[in-house]
Amino acid sequence: MPWENPDHPPFIEFRNVTKKFGDFTAVKNLSLKIYEKEFFALLGGSGCGKTTLMRMLAGFETPTSGQIFLDGQDLAGIPPYRRPSNMMFQSYALFPHMSVEKNIAFGLKQDKMPTSEVEARVAEMLQLTKLEQFAKRKPHQLSGGQRQRVALARSLAKRPKVLLLDEPLGALDRKLREETQFELMNLQEELKMTFLIVTHDQEEAMTVADRIAVMDKGELVQVATPAEIYEAPNCKFVADFIGDVNLIEAKVTEKTDALTRMTSVVDGFALECDQATDASVGETVWYAIRPEKVRIAEGNVEPGVVNHIGGVVWDIAYLGDVSIIHAKVGEDDHDTLRSTFANVSRIVEKPITWDDNVVLTFDRDAGVILRG
């Protein structure tokens, strides 16, 4: 993978980029490298600076300081209409007074491409996005999903060096969104282009992207593959933002190169993790464990066994495919741990029900230790 090799030249590079709007800093001294043919996602909540970052690449915003490179070229001073990138807008921004084929041909005509080539490229794009039968229609004669495909075809028609996707699937319903995510992935593989997507939807980012950059308050928090982001988050923010997580405040009691022992601060149960930590003995850390990695069984806790916590079933959420159980492990009502399990059989009567005594167990390699 190119990002594992520090000498591999990046395709897009943000170098110490800062963007201020008045007193508000949208992007803070940010550096990021994106490689050729990568499907890269910028993920974060609203106002985290992800859209600003993309708009600076497209040329709609100018960085307050720092540089942006695309394929070795410094983009400073280059207006949007001369940049080799194309963008698919959140609102689709289709031209309402032009037919579908005219929308798709618009960018090609700006390049003074000969008419015969324009026609051929438009036909190719219509076929690629399965819009052949709608070529003569105007945007308002199309459904939401069709409009989305026109926007995609239009931004791909010029074969840009990088395709920028700004929350491209936000307006679609769930089923259509999932289908389109897979279509996007296939398209990216087929066209061998670099895709940069901005999204607030973590599932979307995890599905489509090779790598994800999690952003918060104008800074990059973690840049890694979806699996790394999920299984090895580097801080409490990422663990909490991506997926569901149990966060247990714990004090380090013993540590070696291959093992860390802790005691939970609130309830005093013992935790053991096969991960080394920088934290010193006596320091408070966060132990993060995903609910699906917590096993739950009826019965009482055996004293002295690690990662073995007793509790009482407090709440059960049946979601069809999975069930989530909130087990109360301390005195306080909010002091619960969550366990998720797949409903593998059709039995409606579940063996575990409200107020049962249960044991929660997990392996040494199930959770991660986070600082701060």
Partner 1 sequence: MTRGPTWFNVTSLVVGFSFLYLPIVLLVIYSFNDSRLVTVWGGFSTRWYASLLENDQLLDAAWVTLRVAFTSACIATVLGTLAALVLVRSGRFVGRSLFSGMIFAPLVMPEVILGLSLLLLFVSMDQARGFWTVMLAHTTFAMCYVAVVVQSRLVGFDKSMEEAAEDLGCPPVKTFFLITLPIILPGVIAGWMLAFTLSLDDLVIASFTTGPGATTLPMKIYSQVRLGVTPEINAVCTLLVGVVTIGVIAASIVTKRQQVQRERDERAAFGADG
CB of 267 to partner 1, least distance (A): 51
> Around Cβ 277, how many Cβ atoms within 10 Å?
18
CB of 218 to partner 1, least distance (A): 22
Sheet holding 211-216, edge to edge: 85-88, 162-166, 194-199, 39-43, 211-216, 219-224
Among residues 98 and 352, whose Cβ is nearest to partner 1? 98
CB of 203 to partner 1, least distance (A): 21
Which has the closest alpha carbon to 291: 319, 270, 333? 319
Give me the DSSP letters along 47-77.
TSSHHHHHHHHHTSS--SEEEEEETTEE-TT
Among residues 33 and 83, whose Cβ is nearest to partner 1? 83
Among residues 140 and 346, whose Cβ is nearest to partner 1? 140
CB of 138 to partner 1, least distance (A): 7
CB of 17 to partner 1, least distance (A): 20
Q: How far apart are CA 316 and CA 336, in angstroms?
A: 12
CB of 137 to partner 1, least distance (A): 8
Among residues 51 and 339, whose Cβ is nearest to partner 1? 51
Using the structure block, give the residue that is written with the tokens 């708009």.
55
Q: How far apart are CA 262 and CA 252, in angstroms?
A: 4
Among residues 197 and 359, whose Cβ is nearest to partner 1? 197
Contact between residue 32 and residue 220 where contact means Cβ atoms under 8 Å apart: yes
- By CB atoms closer than 10 A (0-12, 13-18, 19+), residue 297 is exposed
Q: How far apart are CA 294 and CA 282, in angstroms?
A: 26
CB of 119 to partner 1, least distance (A): 17
How long is the chain? 372
Among residues 176 and 235, whose Cβ is nearest to partner 1? 176
The binding site for partner 1 (CB under 8 A) comprises 58-60, 79-83, 85-87, 89-91, 93-97, 106-107, 110-111, 138, 140-146, 154-155, 158, 176
Among residues 150 and 325, whose Cβ is nearest to partner 1? 150
Per-residue b or e along 93-127, where b marks 16 or more CB atoms closer than 10 Å to that residue's CB: ebeeeebbbbbbbbbbeeeebeeeebeebbeebbe
